[in-house]
Chains A and B, each alone.
Chain A
């Protein structure tokens, strides 16, 4: 019988972990469970539900830091930040629609554990770049802290980097401190229409090589463009700028003229711009049909279209691009999921390297196909040694990232 432990204090988390270790009970470690469908299925008999460990502990806008308990809803944090005109600059994606979960769910602990970041990643970094410190419980039920509560710190090994993106497989986060930043006063998007994937990525590269401080660079082919830009009947290439009003006006105009050589350009105002980037951020173009496996590829930006193109002989890829071409969201109709995994990962390796994650797929597929990029040789051994030393009893989300991790 599965049971759920719902601690509301850090001490209770420690006690729960102590029990799990002593009774050899593997735990599903989760906040709201909004990303439970992402990852290799775990075979656990108990759930450690951290959603009751909630609340902002300290928010100091002038120090640019916010500390919250791991189970604090993201929505609560975003509301507190918005009230001070600040934000999590890495633009956390909301994957609930893609993953078939109730809208608006997700905790700050889950955000850190998954290291997901939105379109602004190319300019300001991911969660890992804003994750300053934490309190956590380790695999021997020891309570520890890592990092600090200031924005600049190199004291000791950067344990926070290891925990960000470890999907709850190494320790249980109980409290996290994030660097927060001012929200931009205004935003504009320059749209270039009708480009092929290949030309679009060249256009995005030109925009990113300009001095206009571009903070969003995406491309949606004709079939998907309507999800981001209402009524778009052709491909749209999106270039975003943010900042004080006069600055975004000037830069958007400059980009419109500088990118005109690629295709017809136009400016999108604030509201349309916000809507378009929310769609890109939350992967809305690939939400339907819900039964199609969705891949996320991270590759050198100029390689994005080549990866997709090289899959065409083997099936029908449907893809859009973020991060200037470096993040590809992809479905591949035709091959079986296992074949698709092999084809996609071979294409990534062939086109300059990177990694591919199976972000959405039915449970049986995720059990059979490696969800995260498989590692080989020395790196796989290193990852196993890290798991062994941080979670020797294999009680934290065992197997979620890969067999043995």
Chain B
């Protein structure tokens, strides 16, 4: 993984840059000391580390605007950073870039139950939004596993998901508006408390743009009333095919569960050893299906899911009889990553989406690949929407294991694309999957995406080196060059 070569001229101007930032953000808000910078040298993709040129922690939108304006005028690159929980290296620093940490934007600004929305600063954690509205029985639906730590600004940048997205959507489906600062320092508002855009859907474009189009300084999300009740069914199957078929049958019966998760045998065993959730150990696939909503509906649907599971040969079938039991069903799944962390010194968490029908084929191929790369893999799977999280087990202290794990991961993602899926369902491309983009997109497809970048950030100063293996120069993309012949083409019907 190569980052763009650092600009030595910028590095040579470091003290001038630090001084300029200190004029904008006084006090402790500018970090230039090497020891203190260490805290910012990576995000949750810890395999890659880089000391930032300098870190600045602005406190208000005006400071963000002035920082961007100054950097824009001086041609200095910028890496935005939320809570630093990206699993794809979205906020990996650059040696020649200012890292802007948004952690001080930590206030909840407005809770509006009548309009069913909340406006918060981007450094507020995902869970804190739910906490702030819970007293009235409301919550914020997208729930990435890192929700206790990850910030809503980062969620917007990554279009974060979670176990409930099949029914409730990703960040993009729950976001109403943002205030953001464009790379030239201009402050704009997209959306608000109303729905949809009056012109181009720039809010939709900005969501999931991985910090490459602007820096979000305020976020308005829709909040939902908590479902009246929730119940879960735990199902074990003798084969992954039977588990996969059961998922298809549940959806085919017109049921959209709040969560529908699958684990394979290695993941089941790791989780059970760790949290003793009571999972059966003699099955190849474990499904957890959660239904939420009005009590009358949940009871009705639970019995239908039970019947479907029986028809598909479930060897284990339990319905939660209390909220404690439901939480216990989830405990193993939610602890799957740390559980795998216990049985392996290191692991890589992958994130591809596949058409669900390809699951048995993908699991089988993955086991073959595991043998080829001589590494183990455990699978947890947002089965309802086809989002796979293979966990590749390795030991970074053993020579070549990291490289093999990365190669294995890349093979898995190529396989996801080959069967009709995509490289990432919710973690983002970042630097981790950047070089695999051509597996999914051709040159012209990628150019079309980069046109958005050129409209927002023609100088390409914001978060360079992320998402796209090479950024085409905007001047080159702007040229009008037509491939194709001239009409009249005899074969196009004309009248």
Residues of A within 8 A of B (CB): 3-8, 12, 14-19, 21-23, 52, 60-65, 85-86, 115, 117, 121-122, 125-126, 128-129, 138-146, 148-159, 161-162, 164-166, 170-171, 181-183, 185, 202, 205, 208-213, 243-244, 246-247, 249-251, 254, 298-303, 323, 326-327, 352-357, 372-373, 375, 377-379, 382-383, 385-386, 388-390, 392-393, 401-402, 405
Cβ-neighbour of A372 out of B198, B203, B422, B442 (below 8 A): B198
User: Which 4 A-B pairs have CB atoms at the shortest separation, nearest pair first?
Assistant: A161-B204, A355-B198, A373-B198, A18-B484
A389 and B385 within 8 A (CB):
no
Contact with A along B189-201 (1 / 0, CB 8 A): 0101111111111
B204 and A375 within 8 A (CB):
no
State A153–B433 Cα separation when bound (angstroms).
13
B196 and A298 within 8 A (CB):
yes
Cβ-neighbour of A62 out of B187, B225, B252 (below 8 A): B252
B449 and A150 within 8 A (CB):
no
B491 to chain A, nearest CB (A): 7
Of B165, B193, B294, B356, most A-chain CB atoms within 10 Å: B294
Cβ-neighbour of A16 out of B253, B437, B492 (below 8 A): B492
Question: Is B473 on the interface with A (CB-CB < 8 A)?
Answer: no
Q: List 5 A-B contacts (CB under 8 A).
A: A152-B353, A154-B427, A157-B450, A352-B194, A354-B194
- A247-B427 in contact given A5-B492, A148-B422, A162-B452 (Cβ < 8 Å): no
Cβ contacts under 8 Å, B3 to chain A: none
Question: Is B251 on the interface with A (CB-CB < 8 A)?
Answer: yes
Question: Known contacts A6-B495, A128-B201, A146-B445; can you find 9 more A-B pairs with CB under 8 A?
Answer: A15-B492, A18-B484, A22-B482, A145-B441, A148-B422, A150-B386, A152-B382, A152-B385, A154-B159
Cβ contacts under 8 Å, B293 to chain A: 213, 243, 247
Contact count band on B:
35 or more
Cβ contacts under 8 Å, A144 to chain B: 442, 444-445, 447-448
Cβ contacts under 8 Å, A7 to chain B: 492-493
Question: Is B421 on the interface with A (CB-CB < 8 A)?
Answer: yes
Cβ contacts under 8 Å, B151 to chain A: none
B residues 165-200 near A (Cβ < 8 Å) are 165-166, 169-170, 172-173, 182, 186-188, 190, 192-200
Cβ contacts under 8 Å, A145 to chain B: 441-442, 445
State A63–B467 Cα separation when bound (angstroms).
27
State A210–B138 Cα separation when bound (angstroms).
10
B495 and A159 within 8 A (CB):
no
A165 and B201 within 8 A (CB):
yes
Cβ contacts under 8 Å, A139 to chain B: 480
Cβ contacts under 8 Å, B228 to chain A: 211
B481 and A373 within 8 A (CB):
no
B356 (CB) vs chain A CBs: closest residue: A63
Instruction: Give the contact stretch, choosing among B54-62, B295-303, B337-345.
Output: B295-303
- A152-B296 in contact given A6-B492, A298-B198, A401-B199 (Cβ < 8 Å): no
B residues 75-128 near A (Cβ < 8 Å) are 112-116
Cβ contacts under 8 Å, B158 to chain A: 154
Cβ contacts under 8 Å, B492 to chain A: 5-7, 12, 15-16
State A156–B442 Cα separation when bound (angstroms).
12
Cβ contacts under 8 Å, B207 to chain A: 158, 161
B residues 315-368 near A (Cβ < 8 Å) are 353-357
B386 and A151 within 8 A (CB):
yes
Contact with A along B418-452 (1 / 0, CB 8 A): 00111111111100010001001110111111111
State A357–B293 Cα separation when bound (angstroms).
36
B208 and A150 within 8 A (CB):
no
Cβ contacts under 8 Å, A386 to chain B: 200, 451-452, 455
B440 and A128 within 8 A (CB):
no
A301 and B115 within 8 A (CB):
yes
- A154-B205 in contact given A64-B251, A373-B198 (Cβ < 8 Å): no
